[in-house]
């Protein structure tokens, strides 16, 4: 019996996947538990349509991520920090400060948990941070720490 999975099933497959199972397993467990539907021609068409829609969503999301990456790489973000006489800053720069500066200067709201600072920032100058957008998409952001 062939079924189309509605949700992920351990050791069987993922969403919108066509799998072959034994008749009893499909009829008595997967279909009543709303984990799968029978692979009829109409259900096959619906599965193909869902896959097309998912591909369009992913393409749109990828284009949006690429535009954000281009905007972030266009120039350094400036952060203000209080400093002592030697040029060292009090405390250190955090991901929260970087996220706030990106929102103010570039217009994009990025979750602070997606930002990781490469080196500890304790002095004025240009530094780098990584931003991970998920699905293998990440970029390096330059930010400049200036005295307030």
Question: Which residue segment(s) compose the domain that 26 sits in?
Answer: 1-47
Question: Confidence band (pLDDT; 50, 70, 90) for 30?
Answer: very high
If asked whether residues 78 and 118 sit together in one domain, one would say yes
CATH code at position 122: 3.10.430.100
Kindly provide the residue ranges of all beta strands, DSSP E only, lying in the chain, ordered along the sequence. 2-5, 18-20, 36-38, 77-81, 115-117, 125-134, 137-147
Structure tokens at 96: 């929260």
pLDDT tens digits for range 77-116: 898 888 888 878 888 888 999 999 999 998 889 999 999 9
Domain-embedded: residue 63? no
What is the reported pTM? 0.67
CATH code at position 28: 3.40.5.10
pLDDT tens digits for range 44-61: 999 899 889 989 998 998
Specify which residues 138 forms β-bridges with: 132
Of residues 121 and 23, more confidently modeled: 23
Residue 125 confidence (pLDDT): 87
C-alpha–C-alpha distance, residues 18 and 11, integer Å: 14
Residue 91 confidence (pLDDT): 84
If asked whether residues 90 and 128 sit together in one domain, one would say yes
C-alpha–C-alpha distance, residues 23 and 103, integer Å: 55
Domain-embedded: residue 101? yes
Q: Which of 77, 73, 74 is nearest to 100 (CA)?
A: 77
Domain tally for the chain?
Answer: 2
Residue with token string 């970087």? 98
Structure tokens at 17: 């996947």
| Residue range 19-48: mean pLDDT, rounded | 94
If asked whether residues 19 and 83 sit together in one domain, one would say no
């Amino acid at each position: 019996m062939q079924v189309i999975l509605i949700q992920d099933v351990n050791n069987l497959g993922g969403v919108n996947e066509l799998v072959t199972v034994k008749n009893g397993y499909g009829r008595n467990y997967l279909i009543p538990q709303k984990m799968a539907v029978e692979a009829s021609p109409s259900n096959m068409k619906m599965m193909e349509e869902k896959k097309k829609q998912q591909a369009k969503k992913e393409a749109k999301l990828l284009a949006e991520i690429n535009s954000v990456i281009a905007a972030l790489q266009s120039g350094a973000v400036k952060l203000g920090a209080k400093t002592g006489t030697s040029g060292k800053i009090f405390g250190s720069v955090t991901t929260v400060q970087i996220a706030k500066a990106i929102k103010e200067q570039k217009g994009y709201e990025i979750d602070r948990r997606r930002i990781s600072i490469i080196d500890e920032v304790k002095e004025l100058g240009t530094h780098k941070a990584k931003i991970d957008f998920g699905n293998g998409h990440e970029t390096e952001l330059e930010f400049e720490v200036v005295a307030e």
